[in-house]
Structure 1
């Protein structure tokens, strides 16, 4: 949320935006939103209830579409690029790891906390008034389906000072080592670590790209794209992995839970393609009109990521429950034709939602403005304990949704609230400088 121009409190050095990195972030969020909406289909049952058949399982050929919409490597690649520069500026200004990690974490945790609060209140009220548990569980899952990204990104953010120190010493050998470790842990059946190792490869490549270790070498980028693409084809063709890059119920092994060797190959290939496309796209992004549009999308990327499934529920309640929406056979040609107005309607609802959320974003900015770039003396324990609580709670939401079995999940609800409070308190300041507005606070850690 907010455009990340970034500056440390102790430094007035301006930070030059990398337009291409912002474009990657905007492109990725657009692909995620569009992809989720495209594969989400609603069907009214005989009793008037709403069901959401799993398109990828019902029509296996659609799993090939995930090659277009699995762009999470771009998020981690762009995130590593931005985090590397931000951490360097903070470190050079005399800052310590705890203060930077706290500010970086709150960029995700504060808007996530608002989203969780709104959804959990709605779940609690719905459960209290007797909403069908199956329906509530389905809705709770849909609203948390994107949450897997948050705990992984929080862990990588917390590890950034260590990962960047390794990068400064060994450069491109670090992502190579992470990739090799991911292959070993996957073969040994300890795949849970691959959530950090595989996505950490993309994150670490962001460091390398920022420091020029990947740029200016088209042959190297082409080798990454071709090598990663060939490895992916072998792993999903004659190899054991499915083509789907999104979790499909009952599919084993999966490419995403945990990230597989095929996903690792996809990360390498996608980063290679990004490097190859950088020069022509940079020339296009030099046009100010286009750049302003990219900034708008990039600036609200967190809002779009968190809230993009809410329009689906709005449309379900307004059009499907009363029987006002067309209901062609699921997966039929008419159903696919209905995807066009479906996407347009959802886009309009989301645009209105983004505008309506601006007061909440200003409130988030005001809280963020009261957190300093240095941890309060004696409060570092609160930061790390709060991060552990948040990672655990968000992971639980990602796996079971906001309403498992149609009930309010008490433990993760308490965990995310307490965790965010501890992270905020670890850097809370009472002597905020007047000139540091909420907007500039949001821009402080890119």
Structure 2
């Protein structure tokens, strides 16, 4: 069966069986990321009259404790694991191959990322030619590119789904145990040697393990647990974070352990999966309202656009306030905090307007039969490397240009047709 025959299998929602609470969770996760980044972006007049850049949210004494609830990226990967399990099983039932699935999922991430890298290349190129405040431009580029780690991690999860789901079907506990041992070994090597880069290996183990929890969620493991059991597991997870962060080598700031990822993110992922299942009944009632369904549909259908573009838009709105006398309060001042709701509304409005232009890149559309598996592998690598490079080195003009070229090649290769596949 050709990819054309099965192209919608992994993406067509079955609303009669779809758990809308997971769509709500995904939207809430992304919107919370937008809010956190908004509160971490403090650019305005400094004490000496010049511009200053700071991260006001992280300066608060309660920030580290708040990250135990506010670090919701593990939950996003749990929900993503649920969606991946449903998508791959539907794809396979209709005769789709593993390489065809990886091709489709890679395109769904690479296509919307391509315009962003082109934008970065143009803006950073112009800033370089105009010699605009290099230090400030560099700081802004570093911040704007910071969310791209997600693409590298999620691409790995999507590529591994067909094989890890097969292992999950045959030996689910052993698969989790192997991944968990990998997490612990990498963390031990990193903290004992002091070589932070060793921790990058956990981009594989941590996120594949959290993604694997979504397979268990899809199979109903959390459904079969008594609510008190789920509550006990969640409580035990949060209690275990205390010795891990006070006696162990991990930071009590759950955002600090994001890149490279560490064991506490796995603990958070399990706790958040339990809490999501506990909240399913009230969330289901909420999703029965037309207003909430409309909000989730509007944001959910543009989710990649919102995630990818929210920091550039935040920086744009912040820059515009600097051009208006008195519109940019001193970062972390009372006026700055009171202005955040207004700025948030402006950012969301601009993101919606921007989505009317670029959200079309999220739709893969009709595809010709998949190219050979080797070409899919090359396309995957070209899509993965720009995000990984930005995560490791920070966004810069060379990486923006190189990333745009690599992503353009990835999209071109993955959209090419191959010989019709045989069953």
TM-score, normalization by structure 1: 0.83
3-state DSSP of counterpart to 1:239: coil
Q: Which runs of 5+ in 2 are unaligned?
A: 191-197
Match of 2:319 in 1: 317
Q: Which moved more, 1:22-31 or 1:269-278?
A: 269-278
Match of 1:397 in 2: 390
3-state DSSP of counterpart to 2:279: helix
CA change 1:88–1:227 in 2 (3 A) is same
Q: What CA distance in whole angstroms lies between the structure 2 residues aligned with 1:233 and 1:89? A: 41
Q: What CA distance in whole angstroms lies between the structure 2 residues aligned with 1:363 and 1:277? A: 33
Q: Say if 2:381 is the partner of 1:388.
A: yes
Q: What CA distance in whole angstroms lies between the structure 2 residues aligned with 1:9 and 1:409? A: 35
Match of 1:409 in 2: 398
| C-alpha distance after superposition, 1:182-214 (max 9, x if no partner) | 112211224222122112222111111111122
Match of 1:202 in 2: 210
Q: Which moved more, 1:51-60 or 1:83-92?
A: 51-60
Match of 2:194 in 1: none
Query: 1:57: Cα distance to partner?
Result: 5.7
3-state DSSP of counterpart to 2:352: helix
Match of 1:19 in 2: 20
Q: What CA distance in whole angstroms lies between the structure 2 residues aligned with 1:421 and 1:165? A: 31
Match of 1:356 in 2: 354
Q: What CA distance in whole angstroms lies between the structure 1 residues aligned with 2:65 and 2:325? A: 32
| C-alpha distance after superposition, 1:111-148 (max 9, x if no partner) | 11111111211111121122121122112112101111
Match of 2:409 in 1: 421
- Which structure shows the higher helix fraction? 2
Q: What CA distance in whole angstroms lies between the structure 2 residues aligned with 1:381 and 1:422? A: 13
CA change 1:54–1:11 in 2 (3 A) is closer
Query: 1:233: Cα distance to partner?
Result: 1.9
CA change 1:360–1:65 in 2 (3 A) is same
Q: Say if 2:244 is the partner of 1:246.
A: no
Contact 1:28 1:75 survives alignment (8 Å): yes
Q: Say if 2:58 is the partner of 1:63.
A: no
Match of 2:89 in 1: 88
3-state DSSP of counterpart to 1:43: strand
Q: What CA distance in whole angstroms lies between the structure 1 residues aligned with 2:86 and 2:402? A: 34
Q: What CA distance in whole angstroms lies between the structure 2 residues aligned with 1:323 and 1:175? A: 56
Match of 2:223 in 1: 215
CA change 1:11–1:394 in 2 (3 A) is closer
Query: 1:62: Cα distance to partner?
Result: 2.3
Query: 1:58: Cα distance to partner?
Result: 4.2
Q: Say if 2:304 is the partner of 1:297.
A: no
Contact 1:99 1:427 survives alignment (8 Å): no
| C-alpha distance after superposition, 1:18-59 (max 9, x if no partner) | 201101101101111111112222232467653321336644
Q: Which runs of 5+ in 1 are unaligned?
A: 1-6, 248-254, 432-446
Q: Which moved more, 1:99-108 or 1:264-273?
A: 264-273
Contact 2:74 2:265 survives alignment (8 Å): no
TM-score, normalization by structure 2: 0.87
Contact 1:185 1:194 survives alignment (8 Å): yes
Query: 1:402: Cα distance to partner?
Result: 2.8
3-state DSSP of counterpart to 1:148: helix
Match of 2:287 in 1: 285
Match of 2:245 in 1: 236
| C-alpha distance after superposition, 1:376-433 (max 9, x if no partner) | 2xx3322212222322221122233332xxxx215x63245234423442343499xx
Q: What CA distance in whole angstroms lies between the structure 2 residues aligned with 1:10 and 1:109? A: 18
Q: What CA distance in whole angstroms lies between the structure 2 residues aligned with 1:184 and 1:346? A: 41
